[in-house]
Amino acid sequence: MTDHLHSKPGDVDLTTVAWMQADRLRQRAQARFADSAALQAVAAPQLSEQAMQKVLHELQVHQIELEMQNDELQRAELALEASRARYFDLYDLAPVGYLTVSAQGLILEANLSVATMLGVARGALATQPLSRFIAKFDQDVYYHCRQQLIDTGQAQNCELQVLQGGNAKLWVKLNISAVSETTDCPVLRVILSDISDRKKLDDALYATNRSLQAARIQADRANLAKSEFLSSMSHELRSPLNAILGFAQLMEAGTPAPTPSQRNSLAQILKGGWYLLQLVNDILDLAAIESGKAALSMEDVPLAAVMVDCQDLVEPLAMAKSVTLRFPPTPQPWSVQADPTRLKQVLINLLSNAIKYNTPGGLVEVSYSTPAPQRLRISVRDTGPGLAANQLAQLFQPFNRLGQETSATKGTGIGLVVSQRLVTSMGGELGVTSTVGVGSVFWFELNLSSVTAVAVLPVKLDPAPDAPPATPAVTLATALPVSSGTRVAPATVAAHLPTPRSVLYVEDNPANVTLIEQLLVARADIHLLSAQDALQGIAMARSLQPEVIVMDIHLPGISGLEALKILQADPTTAPIPVLALSANAMSHDIEKGLAAGFYAYQTKPIKVHEFMAALDQGLALAAKAPSGTRNLNAI
């Protein structure tokens, strides 16, 4: 008899069917033989010899049929045995473990895969509780899964660890279902699947995610520390630069005029100072972009208006370098998806480079194309010396000026890198083609907006060769932060009044106070007051009621921003226009200051004409306010 662990419920059904077919064949043959024998016994005395021969022939035929049926039965039995053998091979050598478990949790049947999985002999599994082979800390998982099956009647599955030949543990997925047997006691079918490899991958993935999360936190901290360091460095560098560049500008424009030798020395001081300031600005800009903190305000920007502004800004440089500019009108009223300020920054950088590194009498030409649907390419072509292959490979490396470090052309080697990353941040692409001795074409692509510009501003034409250069209008606002970081609203410059008007300067650095004092010496219409900290400045503002307050941000005690809040909350000082003058020149510093209520935000080092324009704007605001009830919102 076959061992109970080796037999399967399905085997009983196959055997029964085969034996029933064979038994029917046997019964038919025996019935026919019995009928023939009975007929022969009854009719034998009356049969003739011929009839007897016929009966004997029929018996022989029946015998042959019986033998054939017997052969067929034997073949069926052999096929059944082969099928049973194949079934046992599939059952025992299946890649998963099969178990039949009683309602009490005892193992009734198992295949060889289960024994191999658990690391025990197959015979040792019979009548053993399945829980014995489950890791202790996962037995509750197994019991809960089995109870859910009993309660719901639905197949259940869970993941747990089983013991493997002692203390070793193996992760498996357990599928369990109930099977109705002919007996009153139901049995459970259990399938065990080895998931140890998947669990190892899950653990590795979890560990990797934890490492990435830790690395991201560390990177965020490093970026924050870098931002704080750069902001602090910018402030500390701008403070002494304010004195250097401010006094140099005063000496350059002073009376009596400096001698040629002194003027050359001052020119070198100013050149080095403005270069250092530009370097600081570029480093801060690049750091903000790399850390993902460069604020972009994406909108639909009409291209024609942007090109007019850029042409106005680069024309003085082109005239100084004897370079011809060509700005053809845009063929269509295109609008691109971009940050308008950053778009101008990119264009000014490409145009400035094309002018600075061009040959005398050269050409800079702007062109447009649509390389793909909803994509616009803006190209800036120059007739400069061009770039070799090795230079193109190093083009977008920070601080790499490709051998121009010792030339008279100003530059930091960062602007092109900043431009490329800004274009990428706006969803575009920046590239270059160049031929030595012919020139270069710098281009960038942006997405066209779905909004068509209602009107196109006229593009400014190149001036006639004999026309005198136009004097650029002095504006109090600049669209690009690369000039000085100043952002003020346009206003009519106040007319000089004969009666001196008081301006209060709140500044803790004596050198900066001296600079402003000397700067205002020539302004007989202004009387300068000064305070060394915010609290003193607030007290003087309340008692003296100055026309305008110039406020530093980084002050001892409370900051200039906090002082502004106090001044705004006091009805006696709220109408006084307050101008920020600070070495905190990060873009978020400027935006924060303007949002707080400063009517303008000037950064150090100051540019004399821009500072004076901003100060005159404040005087104009004060003059328009009713006496004693100045209200900036009414202007």
* Spatial separation of the C-alpha atoms in residues 192 and 119, rounded to whole Å: 14
Long-range contacts, stretch 403-412, CB < 8 angstroms, 24+ apart: 404/357, 409/356, 409/357, 410/271, 410/275, 410/278, 410/356, 411/353, 411/356, 412/275, 412/278, 412/279, 412/282
Cα dist. 332→78, 326, 481 in Å? 88, 17, 29
Q: What does the buried/exposed string (b/e) look like for 412-435 if buried means 16 or more CB atoms within 10 Å of the residue's CB? A: bbbbbbbbbbbbebbebebbbebe
Match domain 299-447 to its CATH number in 3.30.565.10, 3.30.300.30, 3.40.50.720, 3.90.1150.10: 3.30.565.10
Distance CA 330, CA 302 (A): 10
User: What is the pTM (predicted TM-score) of this model?
Assistant: 0.47
Phi and psi (nearest 5°) for 446? -135, 160
The CATH number fitting domain 213-289, selected from 3.40.50.10190, 3.40.50.300, 1.10.287.130, 1.10.510.10 = 1.10.287.130
Cβ atoms of 603 and 238 closer than 8 Å: yes
Topology of domain 97-194, per CATH?
Beta-Lactamase (3.30.450)
Which H helix or E strand runs over 62?
helix 49-92
Q: How far apart are CA 239 and CA 277, in angstroms?
A: 11
Please give the sequence-ordered ranges of beta strands (E in DSSP) within 316-422, or none if there are none: 324-326, 335-338, 363-372, 375-382
Low-confidence stretches of the chain (pLDDT < 70) are 1-47, 79-91, 166, 180-185, 227, 285-288, 290-295, 396-413, 451-498, 626-635
Question: Could you tell me which of 180, 176, 177 has the C-alpha nearest to residue 192?
Answer: 176
DSSP state letter for 345: H
Quote the tokens at residue 530: 């000064």
Query: Which residues on neighbouring strands pair with residue 79, listed in sequence order?
Result: none
pLDDT score, position 291 = 63
Paired with 302 in beta bridges are: 335
Cis before residue 129, ω within 30 degrees of 0?
no
For helices 608-624 and 510-519, angle between their N-to-C axes, nearest 10 degrees: 80
Q: In this predicted structure, what is the pLDDT of residue 185?
A: 66
CATH of domain 487-634: 3.40.50.2300
Query: What is the reported pLDDT for 347?
Result: 92
First to last CA, the chain: 109
What pLDDT is recorded for position 471?
31
Query: Domains of the chain: which residue ranges?
Result: 9-92, 97-194, 213-289, 299-447, 487-634
